Structure 1
């Protein structure tokens, strides 16, 4: 053959990637059994051994190439998660600062008489205090479910605070 004839011939094909051999039913079952074993190891508190079992299952089913692809994909997902965390932390911090600022602006510093203990010890005690059940008032105020009206000294649910102040408080 002379050189022009060589150019006319088709170039030899690149060697084909070795195909994973067709999996026999026994090999497919082996992969599933390894995954089951990995799950059991994870439940036993042995994550490293569980990971090794998963990697063996991937290698037995898809070969070395499948294992490398899976590991690269896991690395990418891990890197993405690490990059997302700082922005989530920054957002959480910003929201916390907003909540604190809002709470400080809606709850002006309380004046004298806002302490429930002082109110209970005053001469104008409420019915519960007079009947010897001061602890009920203190507990309700402490857990935030109730408030003591600074105008009338009554104990009311925080969900009804606006209505009490607008319509029911006799000293309004």
Structure 2
């Protein structure tokens, strides 16, 4: 009986040492893959770096580890995207308030003032601005407030005042 116990102990010891050697080799492979990923990032190859990181995750924890990491990354991306959209909207609202307070109230326009009817004085007065529709209202507000651009009421485009004639002649529908 003593021989069988010794054989079991030796087998367990042998199994334990082979598992440690495999684990150590696995750690070396993971370390090498992550080092390669860092090098690829510095070389400007992010797709190849991502492949190396995924291979390292798969080596360490299998496909399940890859899935969990990608799921966490997707959730973080969505959260940050929502936070950025909220911040952009708040910044646009503050800018609108600042512009509204900075612009003097015009009671009556002079009779000789002939502005083109296709130029919006109020940024995105009719909600037709392409930039505003795509969530970039701050760009519209900045361009109109400094007087360098206008919103075309025909097409909703933000147009430089210097390019007004070309816009109407070649671009506007």
Q: Tell which structure's C-alpha radius of gyration is larger.
A: 1
- Shorter-chain TM-score above 0.5: no
- TM-score by structure 1 length? 0.44
When normalised by structure 2's length, the TM-score is 0.44
